[in-house]
């Protein structure tokens, strides 16, 4: 069996029992269980959720996306070996530490396989909560172009690219298109201020205005915890995206939780500490793959210019990347996962078959 067979590229065709269409994103696919299976598992496994909660199986793939495209490699390698398992392992590690330190729970109830989560349906807060400790990326480009105010926060003059910011910044943006909110354009991923959130908390799906303080505390505490742990590994936590939602526990209490993924190379920038101290940025995250692509193709403007999306899509579709490129990305993801968790990322021999067997034999979810 070749390396390509150990990559889970297609994750929306598993024979998991469901009555709803499979929701497939760039990387994860979600299978919503029927009411009978949800209630059976809640009883059998003793999950701390309302007895009528909706559960889902979330399967992560090894696909790699960048610049709004999915990329593939030579020899039928349609993903990055170990990437999915590395992302899940990192998130599991941070979610576990968040619970241990009394921050908040996550949407994850069970981990049947390194590529699989059993999750509860959450009522999402409609913001992507971005936290920044250094000025880089899109914020630096805007700052260098003369902008000084970000999400209602004013930055001083004289900052240098990639330097540490005077304080930890929260720069939230909309999650999806939100209509009818004064001062907030009805487009996806637009920056919002603290005032926008407070004045329209219900439109952003916060249950109360005070929950804005709660989300900010969870965001900052979560960021600082990850940053402190990475510092101990001589890695720099640069910036990250968190997502939040509400769930109801078995006692009927509503609570704000972390959801999606946290502190991963897909949702965060992580820099190598020794290199940074020597004035060089070495990315331990997806940004390394983006930079690699920008240097790989003759005309990087295709990847950067949103007006050239058709050309970009064709570029991704018609160019199989060398296996060596995908293995370089694999080393980035697996390397940082192993640093963080202290455990080796094991490649599944036949990931799809393993997932089917565990969900059939231990959870009764495959006929």
* Whole-angstrom distance, CA of residue 356 vs CA of residue 28: 16
Specify the pLDDT at position 187. 87
Chunked in runs of 10, what are the mean pLDDT values of the chain (367 residues)? 87 96 95 97 96 97 95 94 97 98 97 98 95 94 93 93 94 92 90 94 96 96 98 97 96 96 96 96 94 94 94 96 94 96 94 97 96
Distance CA 171, CA 192 (A): 7
Instruction: Give the start-to-end residue ranges of the domains of the chain.
Output: 3-122+344-361
* Three-state secondary structure call for residue 4: helix
CA dihedral for 133, 138, 143, 144, sign (positive or negative): positive
Q: Pairing mode, if any, of strands 28-32 and 254-259?
A: unpaired
pTM of the model: 0.95
CB 62 within 8 A of CB 82: yes
pLDDT, position 285:
93
Query: Could you tell me which CATH class the domain 3-122+344-361 is placed in?
Result: alpha beta
Asked whether 9 and 61 are in contact (CB, 8 A), the reply is yes
The pLDDT, as a whole number, for residue 1 is 61
- Cα(121)–Cα(83) distance, integer angstroms: 25
Check residue 138 and give its pLDDT: 87
How is 104-145 classified by DSSP, letter by letter? --BSEEEEEETTEEEEE--EE-SEEEEEEEE--HHHHHHHHT
pLDDT, residue 3, reads 85
Q: For residue 64, how many C-alpha atoms fall within 13 Å in the half-sphere facing its CB? A: 32
- Eight-class DSSP state of 205: T
Q: How far apart are the first and last CA of the chain?
A: 27
Whole-angstrom Cα distance, residue 198 to residue 208?
9
């Amino acid at each position: 069996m070749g390396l390509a067979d150990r990559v889970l590229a297609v994750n929306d065709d598993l024979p998991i029992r469901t009555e709803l269409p499979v929701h497939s994103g760039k990387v994860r696919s979600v299978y919503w269980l029927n009411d009978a299976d949800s209630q059976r598992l809640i009883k059998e496994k003793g999950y701390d959720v309302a007895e009528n909660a909706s559960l889902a199986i979330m399967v992560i793939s090894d696909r790699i996306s960048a610049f709004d495209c999915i990329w593939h490699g030579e020899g039928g390698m349609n993903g990055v070996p170990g990437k999915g398992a590395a992302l899940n392992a990192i998130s599991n590690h941070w979610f576990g530490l968040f619970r241990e330190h009394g921050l908040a729970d996550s949407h994850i109830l069970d981990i049947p396989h390194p590529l699989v989560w059993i999750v509860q349906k959450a009522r999402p807060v409609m913001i992507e909560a971005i936290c920044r400790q250094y000025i880089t990326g899109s914020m630096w480009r805007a700052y260098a172009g003369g902008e000084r105010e970000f999400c209602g926060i004013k930055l001083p003059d004289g900052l240098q690219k990639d330097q540490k910011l005077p304080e930890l910044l929260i720069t939230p943006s909309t999650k999806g298109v939100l209509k009818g909110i004064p001062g907030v354009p009805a487009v996806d991923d637009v920056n919002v201020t603290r005032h926008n959130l407070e004045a329209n908390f219900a439109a952003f799906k916060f249950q109360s205005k005070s929950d804005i303080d709660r989300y900010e505390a969870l965001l900052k505490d979560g960021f600082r915890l990850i940053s402190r742990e990475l510092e101990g590994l001589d890695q720099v936590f640069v910036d990250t995206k968190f997502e939040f939602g509400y769930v109801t526990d078995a006692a009927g209490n509503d609570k704000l939780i972390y959801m999606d993924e946290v502190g991963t190379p897909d949702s965060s920038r992580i820099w190598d500490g020794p290199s940074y101290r020597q004035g060089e940025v070495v990315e331990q995250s997806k940004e390394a793959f983006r930079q690699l692509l920008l240097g790989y193709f003759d005309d990087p403007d295709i990847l950067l210019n949103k007006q050239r999306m058709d050309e970009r899509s064709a570029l991704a579709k018609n160019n199989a990347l060398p296996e060596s490129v995908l293995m370089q990305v694999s080393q980035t993801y697996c390397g940082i996962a192993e640093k963080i968790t202290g455990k080796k990322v094991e490649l599944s021999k036949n990931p799809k078959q393993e997932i089917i067997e565990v969900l059939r034999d231990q959870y009764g979810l495959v006929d």
